[in-house]
Structure formats: C-alpha cells, structure tokens
Structure 1
Amino acid sequence: MRHWMNLPAGKTIRLRSPFAVVLVVALAAAASTPRFESLFSSFDQLHFDATALVFANRSSDRVVLISKGEGSLRELGRESVFSPATNAQLIDRLSGAASIVFDIPLPAREQYDDTFFDAIARNKRVVVGLPSTDTDMSGKLLLPLPEPAPEVAAAIGQRDVTIGHYGVVTGFVPYRTIDNRVYPHVSLEAIGVAGLGGMLPDFHRYEFLQTTAIGKRPRQSVLLMLPRVKSVETYSFADVVKGRIPTSAFDGKIVFIGHAIYRPLGEYNVSSLNDYVVNGAQLDAMITSAVLNDDIVSEIPPVSQLLVDPVLALGMLLICWLTKTRNLHTYALAWGICIFATSTVLLGLFRVWIPIGSALAICVVVYSYFAWSQLLGMHRLLHREISRLRELSSSIGVVRMSDEDSHGAIESNLLDEVKLAMQQIREWQEAYVGVINMLPYPIVLVRGRKLVLWNNSAAELLGETVTDSGGIHAGEKPKLEAVLEQFAAQGLGEAPAQEREMVLNDREYMLVNVPFAQFSPLSVQEDAAHLICLVDVDDLKKSVTHDRQALRHIAHDLRNPLTTILALIEQQSIGMQDSLTGVHDEKFMHDLRRLVGYSLRMAQDFMQLSRAEVLDPATFSMVDVADLVDEAVDQVGAFAEARSVRLVLHQKTDEAIWIDGNRDMLQRAVINVLDNAIKYSTENTVVDVTLERDPHRAESRHVLVRVADHGIGIPQEAIPLLCEPFFQVDGKRRDVAAGVGLGLSFVRAVIGRHGGSISIESEVGQGTSVALSLPIATDSIVAGDDEPAGTAAPSLPKAP
C-alpha cells in the first residue's frame, strides 16, 4: 500500500499505489455480503444485544402469559394440568381476552374430547400454531393440525424464527408460504384476531436476508428489538384455573398459554449477554410485545451495505495516509469509536441497524498494516541510531556499546540495545544539563530555528520583550525567543561564531552564537544546532564609563589647581618687580594654601573610598552604636556652631546596641552625612540625629541612624544619583571649599561592606533625610545598666 524509495541526496519519496484503494474497496465489498458477513456477525450480535439491553422498551401491557410451571404441576397434578377439560375450562375463563394463543402442540383428535374443541369454537378468538413447518417432497406439511382444529380456530400461524451466533434469536419470519397457503406468524395472527391489525406496518419493507451463524443459510426475516424476559406479565396456570386471578385481568389482552416445564416447542436464547433461555410461548409473547411497541428494526438494503463498508474502510485508509506518525493511533481509534457510536445511536434511537463488524475488521486490517510499517520503520531507525551512538561513543572516548551483555556471554537483542542507548543518552543529557546550569550566563540551544534547550538563567529571561534587537529582528519590540531564533538563522553559512548586542529589560547583553556544526560530525546544514550565550555587559559598560568619568574628573580637578598654582607663580614672578612685594607674597601664599588644601582633601577622599571598597569583615570588632554617634556629633559640633546650625540627638532606645564593624570607617561615614547636613542647612536651623531600631526590618534586628536637616533640599530626579562619585546636582563645578563629591560614595561603600543600606528622602525647600541601616550583632543587646565602662555621655542636648 505504501512504498518508500531512498534517494542519494538523503531525501525520501513516499509512493501511494492506486492498487491499495482498489484492494481495500474490494475487501470491504466482499465482507459486506450476507454470506461473508456471517464471519463477523458474532461481534454484531454482541453489539446488537448490548444496545437492545439499554434502549429496548418494556413488554407491552396488552400481552400476558399463562405458564404451566412447577407450582401448577404440584397443585393440580399431572392429569389435571395435561387434561383437555382443564384447558377447556381455562379457555372459557378467558372469554374477555382480545385473543388467545394456545402455544401447545395439538395431538390427534382421539387424545382430546369434544369439550376442548367446543371451548375453542365458543371463544372464537383462539389462535393455534403449526406443530412444524417442515414439508415433504410434494410441499405438504409433515405434521398438519389435527381435525377439527383448522375449522374451530380463529387463525392458524407458524412460529419460524432465525437463529444467529451463540444460538440467539435474531428475528422472526412474518409470512411463510406452504402448499400455496400463506401462514403469518402466530404473533401477527394474535394481533389481527385482537382487532389491532390496522396498526401493523408492511413487513415486506423490513424483510431482508438475515445474517446467521457460519454454515447456515440466510433467510428472509424481520429484525426485532425484544423486550427483557422478566418484563412480560406472567400468571400461574393454577391461579387462573382456580379463580385466584380475576377474569378482568385478561380483558382486552392478548393471552399466550404455554408450558414452563415440558417445553414441546423448544428453548431459545434471546441475548448473547447471558445464558437465560425462554420457551416457545415466552418467545411468541416477546415478539408480539416488540411488534406492538414498534420495536421493529429496519436494516439497510444489501446494496447500501455494499457502499457503507468500503466508505468506512477508505476513511481509515485516508487517516493512515494523511496522519502523522505520532497521531496515527489516536485518530485510528477515534475513527473506530465514531463508527461504533454512530451505529449504536442509529439502532437505539431510530431503530436502524447497520452491521459494522465487517467494516471494523477491514479497518483493523488497514490500521495494522500501517502500524506494522511504522514499527518496522522505527526498528530500522533504532538500528541506525544505535550504530551512530556507537560511533559517537568511540569518537569522544566513551565506553563503546557492545553487542554482548555485561558478562560477555550473550549477544543482546534490539530491546537491550535500546535500553542501553537510552540509559547512555540520559546520562549524557543529565551531564550536559548539569554543566549548562552551572554556567553563570543564560545559555540557549536553537535547533531547526526553534529553541529546544535552555538553562535556569535563561528561563528567567524567556518571554521578556527586547527593547533594541541590534538589527537582528525587524519587528517592533519582539520577544526574546523570536530574537534568538532569528539570530541563529542569520548564522547559517556564515562565520563559526557571531556576536551581536541587544537591550533587554533596560540592560545591554552581548549575544554569542556558536554553531554545533563546527565541532559535531553528525550535524547537517539544514538541522544544525546553535549554542547562544547571553552575556550581561551592562555593568561592565557602566563601570568603564564610570571609570572614564572619574578619570576625567580627577584630571580636571587636579589640572585646575595646578594650572592656577602655575599662574600664581607667574604673577608672583612679575609682582616681585613691584614695590609692593610684601602684599603680593601674602596673597599668593593664601591662594596657594587654599588650592593645595583642596588637592590634599581630594587625594584623602580617594584614599578613603578605595579603603572602604576593600574592607575585610574578618577585621571587624564590636562597636557601640550610641557611643559612635555621640563621638561623630562631637567632632562636627564646632563646624555646626560656626554655621549657626544646632544639632539635636534623639536616642529612642535605652539599650546598648552593638554592631560588628570597623569603628573608624563607620564614624567617618556618619561624620560625612552630618557634614553634608550642616553644609546645606540655612542659618538658625536644626539638624536632627535619631538613633533607634529600624522599624521597617523584620524583628527589628537592624539599628537605624537618621540625619534630617531643614536645608535647601534635593530634586527627586537627582536622589538616585547622589551616591555616584563626583555627581553634582546643579551640573556645575563645586567651589573648592565645597568638597570633591566623594562623601556619599564613601558612605555607601562603608555601609554596604557592613551589610547595611542607605536611603535618602528629600524635598526641595524642605530639607533632606539620610537613613543608615546596619545589622545588629547577634546577642549584642544588653541593658542600660550593663553598659561597658567608659561609655561617653552625650555632650549635646537630646530631645525630650
């Protein structure tokens, strides 16, 4: 059905032969004929019975059964049960019945008295059945009814039914022509005698060749959905004869009379789902109920069946042709379920029967062929891949996959090879993933222009929007995945490694693309894999830019005073020619001292900042925070007094709080903050210094030193840049006496090395608040009475 041709270029062409369609159609058409359909009718029988069990109606309330069972035999005795007089008595009691079917063979007249036949004649609604429909060579009945039954009975019917698989009744023969006379089925005769014949359909429309068991000849019959056996209303023969059942219970009903112990008409199975058997009278009653309930099943004509089966088989063929390998089994199963469900719904709701056993069998054959072809293809593929794995293992120095087991005694089969290969692949995969996850950079693997593998660092970035793709992607703000796939596609046929810059989350990244093709002997051009690394160069670029700016500031700040010094020297050399030499010398020395002092302060600030950035926590010692703050306040007191600024210390805890740190550096940091607060405060204002536990930290395991002034304030856009070296709020050069702009950079470095943080709040015209948060040393808090000796008392006023 499907053929494959290998071509030298490494490509394949799939050929579909028209012979496949012809073969499938021929098989399906042959299997749908009645004789061949019997091969699959066992499945159809189970399907039909299961559907009937759910959808069939209960027995009609117009049909009742009087059974001669064990109870009647014990109560009345054998003679009375089989006595013609008792039967005549029963017929007389059923005078109100619409019709009576005497489902007991009638022997010769000499075995009956006139009482029995007189009762039949008086009732005028008794239907009797032929003992047998077998005929002799001349076409006459072998067992005709005894005289005078044909004359006194209201109607005579036959009891022919069709038997299928499992001995189950599959239908009944509505009409049988014997010796040029048409005999309807006893059920139809009973309905006609009861005056209900007008509601009967034309059974010739429902007659088709009934598929029976293998080896049996199909017969024209009508398919019925019989009710459940126990739904037929049944009475005991003894109860009716003794008058325990009122005669009104049978008025207007079709009554069947039969034996439950002695079953002269045989036993019948009515369902393949159980082994429950019924006698002839029960079967006739069930057939009559099915006819009255309109549970007559229409079978599609044989010509239609010849079309249905090929169409269903071709549907499976198309599914197998057009469906991808991984979905073949799902779609094939869904097609089979759809066929089964459709047939079930048509039978259960619309009483239309379409046998699907043969169609499903052909579908299974088609599916099996394609599934087997795929299995063989997978078998060959596994062989090829295992061979490649052996070559790869040898090329990279891994232990080569052997044809022998671990003991070297038995050659392994394909399953063992696959298990060993998968184990080795998993080991390699775990090793590769482990190595990739250990890398500090985001790593992605692109194959076939699709992302197939990435590490944890890359997973955090996938899905983000790229602000600037550096010309990789033409779209506006594409996703990172699209940029990486496009970047890998651009690398086909170009240099082994490529680099490109892009902007992601406001940070600059360097993309490095390394195709696997340059070191993998098994990769091919159209399926090459690319390893792409995302290197965050944002901090590096900012650091380089920062260093350049710092060097420019240093060069500028060193050049200006030196240039001025040189100019002053020149002036001094000229001024010495004047008569006022003493005055020039004094001014020259004053300016020279001021500029040299500025250069010295700048050098000292650089040295402090460099030491702060390399602080070693191993050299830290216990520091009393309150004592540290008091001493810092004391050191800037004179400067504050000179600027007419008052310092107020608020100590909101009576505990001695200790931190682990470098006392000198911490004190210098606090002094820098105080110095800035005093410097930018107006005259006659207050600078508040607060010492407390940090209320914003969990469990208050941090101490907070807050310095708040009421000075000129800082614009909001400048606050994030205050701790940057040489940053100036107004963009102009400071006065020489104002400092070099490294104070807060030093504070941030010191606090950061101690595990703390700095926060700045400011409002123009209202003032600035700088908060230093530092972690408290473990078990360092002691009561105020246990303070170490020598702790200095505050020398400045404290807030009440």
Structure 2
Amino acid sequence: MRRGFARVLDQIVGAGFSSWGVAIGLLAAAAYGYTPAGEVLFAPLDRLHWGLVAPRARPVSRSRVATVVIDARTVAALGPVAAYSRATDVRLLERLHGAAAVCLDFAMVTPQPEDALLAPAIARHGRVVLSAQSSAQIGHAEVVLPPSPALAAAAAAIGQRNLLVGAGHTVQGIVPYLKVRATGDEEPHVVLQALRVAGDVEPLRNIRRFIQAQVSSMGQIVPGALALALPTHFNLDQYSYIDVLEGRVPESALAGRIVFVGDTATDLAGGPYRLSAASAPLARVQIDAIATNALLHGRIDLRVPPLAQMAIGVGIALGLIAICVLTPRRRLNLFAFGWAAFVIAALSVLPQVSQRWMPVGPALAICILVYAVYGWRRANNAHSALQRELDVLRAGPAGGVLPPVPDDTRSIDEIGDLMRRIRESRTAYVELIQSLPYPVFVEQGTKLVLSNEQGRELLDLLAGDDKDEAHRAILSLTRKESAAAKASREIRTAELTLNGRTQMMMVTPFGDGTDLADAGSMICFVDVHEIKAAAERDRMTLRHMAHDLRNPLATMLLLLNEHGASGRHTDADFLANLQRLVDYSLRVAQEFTQLSRAEHLDARTYVPLAAADLVAEAVDQVWHGAAAKKIDVEGPHVHGDEAFVLGNRDMLLRSLINLLDNAVKYSPPGTTVDVHVETQDAEVVIRVEDCGIGIAADALPHLFEPFFQAAGASDDPTLGVGLGLPLVQAVVTRHGGRIDVASTLGRGSSFTIRLPRVEADALAE
C-alpha cells in the first residue's frame, strides 16, 4: 500500500515538474508564506480580506465600559487651563467614586504643584489607573516613562498604551505586555490594568494563550501582540467632562463601570485613530475603551496556530499540483480556478464558524505560483514537442525535404506557421465530415474523438442523455470491423441492425497499420432500411401481380386452344371474352405502375395547387361515366376560404378520380355522389360521400391492402383489380396527409382526405 501511494505521489510530483526538487521548493514556499516574514508581503491584502469577513461586535445597550472626555464644550466652559488642570481632575474623581475603575488616560509624566491635591484623591478613590509613556516602536521599548512619582505612588495600577496599528492608523489590537530593554521588565497595557483593578479577571486568565507575532496592514511584524475583533464604529456610552463635573450626569450612570477619562478636543494623546477605513477618527481614550470592551466580551482575533497554517498552506499547494497533473488539459483552467475559489471561500467562512482566521494572501500567492510554474513547464514541453515535429517534417521520408535551419535561428514564428497549416487542414477535415449527410464518427485509441451532427443525433437515439453509454455502444458494434480494417489497411463494410433499422457500416482506417493501439479510423453508417424495404415491397407486389395475371392469361390460352381445335370460325362472343381478359391484364399492369410511382414521389418537386380546382377537374373527368349510369356527382361544395396544398398534380388528381370512380361504380342508378372541400385550421379536407352498397366492418381494416376487394375475389374484371385504394393511400401519405373511411352496409360510404394546408402569404413569398 505504501509503495502504491509512493507511485501516485511520484506521478503527481515527477510528471508535473520532472523533479522532486521543484515540487519541494514550491511546498517550502507555501510553508514560508505563513511565517510572519512571509505574511509581510501580503499584509494589505490580508487586512482588506479581514475587514470584509471578520465578525463584528454588535452595539451594546449598556456596556460596563464608558468614556468621559474633555471635548469642545468642556474647554469652552472651563477654559483651556482649568479644563486640563489636575485640580479639576480631583473634582471629577469625587463624582466617579462609584466607578469600578477609573483610567486617567492623560500624559502625567511631568510633576506639577497640583499633584499634591490629585495624589490624595487618587489614593482615596483606590481604583484609579494611570498611563505611562514609552518610546516603543514594534513591541519593545528602550524606556518607559511613568507618571510623576507622587501620582504613581497613589495609583492602583500603571499601564502602557501601545497599539497594533496598520495603514491609515486603523487599530487592529494592542501590545498587552511591553518589554523594556533597559530593565527586562514587562509593562502591562492600560486595558489589562483597568480590567484587573475593576475585578474583571476572567478575560485575563488565559490572555497569554492568544498572544503571538502579528503582521500589521503596513507589513510590520509586531511580536507579542494581541489582535482584537473591534467594531467598525465607536459604540460605547460617552459623556462630556463638563456634564459629569457639574452633576448633569447622575452618579448611578457610571457606578460599577470601567470609566476611561481622556481628551478628544486635541490630538495631544496621539492619533487620530480609526477602527476601519470608513470610520470617523477617534482619540486614544476611545480606542482604549473599545479595546477594554472587546476583551471583556472575549472578542479576540484568534489566529490559526502557525504550524497548522503552514500545514494548510502545503495542503493547498499539493491540491493544486494534483489538479495540474491529473486533470485533462481542456478542464485544467476550470478545476484550477475552482480550487482557488474554494480555498478563498473556505478561508472567508472560517472566522464565521470558528472565531479563528488565517491570512488569505499566502494561499492565493501559492496557487498563482504553482499554476504559473506548471503552465510554464507545460508550454515548454509543448514547444519542445512542436520543435521535434518540425524536425521530422523537415527531415521528410527521403532524408530532408525542407532546408535545414540552424537552431539559433529557429523561431516561434516557424512553429506558428506550422500550427496555422495544421489548423487549416483540421478545419477542412472537420467541415468535410460535417457536410456528409449520414452519421460519421472518428475513432482513435478505442475512443470517439469526433462526430458530425447526424452522428450526434444517432448517439442521442441510442442512449439519450448517457453519452458514455452511447459511445460504448458504437465502439462495441464497430470494434471487430475497425480492428480488421486497421490490420488490413483496407476499407471494411458490414450490414447490421442499429436502433431497429438496417445500416451499412463502412470503416476507413488511418495511419500506416504499424501501431494499431494508436491508429484511428473513420466510421460511417448509411441507412439502407428504406431501400431494402422498398425492394421487399416490390418483390411482394410482383408476386401478387404475377398471381393475378396468371389466371386471365391461362384462360386466354385455353380459349385459343379450344377455338383452334374446334375449327370454328371466330365469333363475337369469343372475341369479347378475349378482349375483357386482355383489358383486365393491362389494367393490372397499369395500376401497378401508378402505385409504384406513388410510393417514390419526391417532395422537392411539389408545386402549390388550389384544392377546389383540383377536385373540380376530377369531377369533370368522371362526370360522363356517372351520367351514363344516371348518377349525379354534386360538387365540389367549397366551405371556407380558398385553400392550397403542395403536391404532385397528376398523382393527386389520379387519387381523387379513383375515389370518385369507386363511388360511382358501387352506387345504384338514381343516387347522388357529393364532394366537399373545406379548411380546418392547418388542414385541407376533401370528402367524397356516396349512397352505394357500403363496406362490411370486417373488410375496413384491409381496404388499402394491394389486390384486396371488399366483395372478395370476383370474376367480374369491371369491378377493379384492387390497386385503386392502395394508390390513394400511398399518394396521400407521401403528401403528409391521411385518409379515413366510414361506411354502413346498404347506405353508402364516406372517404375523407386530409392534407397539410399552405397559406397564400407563404406562396407569395
């Protein structure tokens, strides 16, 4: 099993890249892309992706975190000096005595006389956090400047304020512990200190588990950072410093809450900062409050562990390598782009279902790299193959029919010209196959590689939507003859039944007959079903005709023999009988000829005909015989607009005359034959009604069979030979119509012909 896996892996790697070294290099690049140094290259793309897919914090109705800010109203009310006076902060702390923690988010590094007032107030409150200033650049600092000694001694905690900031001053998180190089100490962030002082230690228990090197959107590696899932806009309660100081904000509104006090009227505290590219600029105090609220609710940007990211990156690269090696060329682009789309979609969904994310930039880059390397090697192999083919063509069968060209002057233009000629030949070849009127298939290596339109229709008839099954059916039918044709280098023919019809199959081999596995052949199917059926019908008709002619001819021979033996002179009765028999034989031959013509009508020779005029001419031709028998032929009665049909005038006229002759022949004297012509939607209806002897019900199904007579075999040749109605049916069918019969014994019959109608507008065009 392990050897089999090794063979498959060798096929994927070796076949696609011809060496393990290239494949290992690609996999190493995939792993490197998920190191912090690799992520630097794609940081802007990754942060853009994170901004689109990251789950955002919803606004809260009342958070445990609030801000009190020195705004323009405060400065206007107190004046610039008093607004930033530490004595004023003493009054504020008295108003915030019920807060769980108060963070004075100001720079208080320089000692001032008012520290003597503020320090006791801080100590009395007991839950005040002060901020320290640092020279930190990317996660470490040379020195951290604490607040003035008096204030620092009175504060419950002191914290630094380093942030993870990207392009456009968008805040991505905080640096929870800042390492001071001078002392080797770690300074906690003011956010962590505020949570600890307020007694909210739950978010701090496992905080170090989520700390890792982060890459900002500016491409900087920040070690020991904590990425936070921050909202897109500031969404906490914020109060004006002057309103709190003057009691317009009830003390209960801030009781039990973590309150950040800072400055929004100036940019002395740094900034401005943003939560997203589209958000309003924020001050440092607002950012610290938002970060505290995110930690309080566990909204930490959890990264997939680095080793897992590297493993996933290698898996993405291996997947695309497998696609590039194992996918057929015509589907390669679809599968490759589909794989890249799947990877991007999976990495986009990951934060929604697991609260973890991993950068999308390295994954997209490795997909592009693998596809580019594979495409380059495939193009290079194709170029080499074309060069070899060109060398073969130049060498020719006699050792060189094209002038040799030095390798350094052989250009892609020469190969392009060769490809153009090959495409022209292929196009001409395909057009030739498509122009053939019967199904044609091209088979190569036991696969169907080409078929014309008629061939595809035959495949649909064989297996419907299952194309593979249809291909197997054709190949199974032709396998024996195709192999024989390739071996003998001769065209092979065979007759077979396909889809219930007789087909003549012809197999024409390609190639030189040396490599039968790769040689191809062209397979043609010619439908000879109708030809064989027509031959069989003609054979049966001739048999019937010979049978019917045998009786009158034998009778004539007997009469002649008897008359010659008696020595009598020729009398009138003898001649009358002889003439009647000869007339019957001639009518059999004539009507058989008419029937044969009707069965081979060519629709391409049809012309427009006025139905009423055609029926009127047929009535005129039978009128004399009907009048001699004292039968009235009434019509044609035309109902509706003038109607046209496409057809053969002589054969349609012959058919109508046959129907009228039958009506007159089987009707008693003194009766009437009615002829009607009417239009019904897309049909022209011609109906002949008589008051004759009628037709028995058991005879109706056989009425249109050749040589069948409703009254059975009759010795009276004047009643017909049984080919008139078959002629009518053959003519009507060849014109795309149908004929119906209704009859009652003793009351008469009605024959109705329905033919396709042609609109007069279409005839004019």
| TM-score w.r.t. length of structure 1 | 0.72
State the Cα deviation string for residues 258-311 of structure 1 (Å, max 9, x = none). 223444443265557469654332221121011112112334444444544434
Give the structure 1 partner of residue 522 of structure 2.
Answer: 530
State the Cα deviation string for residues 570-622 of structure 1 (Å, max 9, x = none). 4456556xxxxx8xx79x8745631442113432564577589599999x999
Give the structure 1 partner of residue 106 of structure 2.
Answer: 104
1:706·1:772 contact (CA, 8 Å) conserved in 2? no
The whole-number CA distance in structure 1 between the counterparts of 2:275 and 2:758 is 88
Single out whichever of 448-457 and 332-341 deviates more from structure 2.
448-457
The whole-number CA distance in structure 1 between the counterparts of 2:328 and 2:654 is 74
Q: What secondary structure does 1:376 align onto? A: helix
- Aligned partner of 1:293 among 297, 302, 322: 297
1:104 to partner: Cα distance: 0.7
Amino acid at match of 2:524: I
Q: What secondary structure does 1:327 align onto? A: helix
Q: What secondary structure does 2:149 align onto? A: coil
- Aligned partner of 1:185 among 150, 168, 189: 189
Amino acid at match of 1:61: S
1:391 to partner: Cα distance: 12
1:449–1:728 CA distance, 2 compared to 1 (3 A): farther
The answer to whether residue 107 in structure 2 is matched with residue 127 in structure 1 is: no
1:498 to partner: Cα distance: 3.3
How many residue pairs get aligned? The number is: 715
The whole-number CA distance in structure 2 between the counterparts of 1:605 and 1:749 is 17
Give the structure 2 partner of residue 500 of structure 1.
Answer: 494
Give the structure 1 partner of residue 694 of structure 2.
Answer: 711
Q: What secondary structure does 2:482 align onto? A: coil
Give the structure 1 partner of residue 118 of structure 2.
Answer: 116
Single out whichever of 214-223 and 197-206 deviates more from structure 2.
214-223
The whole-number CA distance in structure 2 between the counterparts of 1:371 and 1:342 is 25
The answer to whether residue 588 in structure 2 is matched with residue 598 in structure 1 is: no
Amino acid at match of 2:721: V
Give the structure 1 partner of residue 461 of structure 2.
Answer: 464
The whole-number CA distance in structure 2 between the counterparts of 1:559 and 1:769 is 34
Amino acid at match of 1:333: F
Give the structure 2 partner of residue 694 of structure 1.
Answer: 678
Give the structure 1 partner of residue 374 of structure 2.
Answer: 370
1:670 to partner: Cα distance: 6.2
Amino acid at match of 2:259: V
The whole-number CA distance in structure 2 between the counterparts of 1:130 and 1:140 is 13
2:232·2:276 contact (CA, 8 Å) conserved in 1? no
State the Cα deviation string for residues 79-123 of structure 1 (Å, max 9, x = none). 122222222222222233222100112144434253333332332
Give the structure 1 partner of residue 504 of structure 2.
Answer: 511
The answer to whether residue 336 in structure 2 is matched with residue 332 in structure 1 is: yes
The whole-number CA distance in structure 2 between the counterparts of 1:456 and 1:371 is 34
| TM-score w.r.t. length of structure 2 | 0.75
State the Cα deviation string for residues 751-791 of structure 1 (Å, max 9, x = none). 899x8977351558575433467999999xxxxxxxxxxxx
1:609·1:742 contact (CA, 8 Å) conserved in 2? yes
The whole-number CA distance in structure 2 between the counterparts of 1:89 and 1:776 is 105
Amino acid at match of 1:464: L
1:442·1:458 contact (CA, 8 Å) conserved in 2? yes
Amino acid at match of 1:535: D
The whole-number CA distance in structure 2 between the counterparts of 1:331 and 1:47 is 23
Give the structure 1 partner of residue 619 of structure 2.
Answer: 629
1:239·1:245 contact (CA, 8 Å) conserved in 2? yes
The answer to whether residue 432 in structure 2 is matched with residue 432 in structure 1 is: yes
1:759·1:770 contact (CA, 8 Å) conserved in 2? yes
- Aligned partner of 1:156 among 150, 154, 158: 158
Kindly report which structure 2 residues correspond to 1:26-65, keeping only aligned pairs within 5 A, or say none: 26-52=28-54, 54-58=55-59, 61-65=63-67
Q: What secondary structure does 2:301 align onto? A: strand
The answer to whether residue 721 in structure 2 is matched with residue 740 in structure 1 is: yes
1:224–1:268 CA distance, 2 compared to 1 (3 A): farther
Measured on the aligned residues, the alpha-carbon RMSD in Å equals 5.3
Give the structure 1 partner of residue 211 of structure 2.
Answer: 207
The answer to whether residue 736 in structure 2 is matched with residue 769 in structure 1 is: no
1:153–1:686 CA distance, 2 compared to 1 (3 A): farther
The answer to whether residue 515 in structure 2 is matched with residue 563 in structure 1 is: no
1:769–1:485 CA distance, 2 compared to 1 (3 A): farther
Q: What secondary structure does 1:494 align onto? A: helix
The whole-number CA distance in structure 1 between the counterparts of 2:533 and 2:165 is 93
The whole-number CA distance in structure 2 between the counterparts of 1:354 and 1:484 is 52
1:709–1:380 CA distance, 2 compared to 1 (3 A): farther
1:689 to partner: Cα distance: 0.9
The whole-number CA distance in structure 2 between the counterparts of 1:659 and 1:153 is 110
1:169–1:568 CA distance, 2 compared to 1 (3 A): closer
Give the structure 2 partner of residue 786 of structure 1.
Answer: none
- Aligned partner of 1:230 among 229, 234, 239: 234
Q: What secondary structure does 2:50 align onto? A: helix
1:77 to partner: Cα distance: 2.3
1:659–1:157 CA distance, 2 compared to 1 (3 A): closer
2:594·2:727 contact (CA, 8 Å) conserved in 1? no
1:204–1:751 CA distance, 2 compared to 1 (3 A): closer
2:231·2:275 contact (CA, 8 Å) conserved in 1? no
2:442·2:521 contact (CA, 8 Å) conserved in 1? yes
1:748 to partner: Cα distance: 6.6
1:111–1:317 CA distance, 2 compared to 1 (3 A): farther
1:153 to partner: Cα distance: 1.9
Gap regions ≥5 residues in structure 2: 1-6, 397-401, 406-410, 761-765
Gap regions ≥5 residues in structure 1: 6-11, 393-399, 404-410, 467-477, 577-581, 780-800
1:172·1:222 contact (CA, 8 Å) conserved in 2? yes
The whole-number CA distance in structure 1 between the counterparts of 2:234 and 2:660 is 103
Give the structure 1 partner of residue 480 of structure 2.
Answer: 490
2:553·2:581 contact (CA, 8 Å) conserved in 1? no
Amino acid at match of 1:368: A
1:464·1:479 contact (CA, 8 Å) conserved in 2? no
- Aligned partner of 1:197 among 201, 215, 218: 201
Aligned-pair identity in percent equals 29
- Aligned partner of 2:245 among 241, 244, 255: 241
1:770–1:595 CA distance, 2 compared to 1 (3 A): farther
1:162·1:219 contact (CA, 8 Å) conserved in 2? no
Q: What secondary structure does 2:99 align onto? A: coil
The whole-number CA distance in structure 2 between the counterparts of 1:249 and 1:732 is 120
Q: What secondary structure does 1:226 align onto? A: coil
Q: What secondary structure does 1:222 align onto? A: strand
1:446 to partner: Cα distance: 4.9
The whole-number CA distance in structure 2 between the counterparts of 1:608 and 1:215 is 99
1:417–1:225 CA distance, 2 compared to 1 (3 A): farther
The answer to whether residue 286 in structure 2 is matched with residue 282 in structure 1 is: yes
1:448·1:529 contact (CA, 8 Å) conserved in 2? no
The whole-number CA distance in structure 2 between the counterparts of 1:746 and 1:570 is 36
The whole-number CA distance in structure 1 between the counterparts of 2:758 and 2:149 is 124
* Higher share in helix: 2
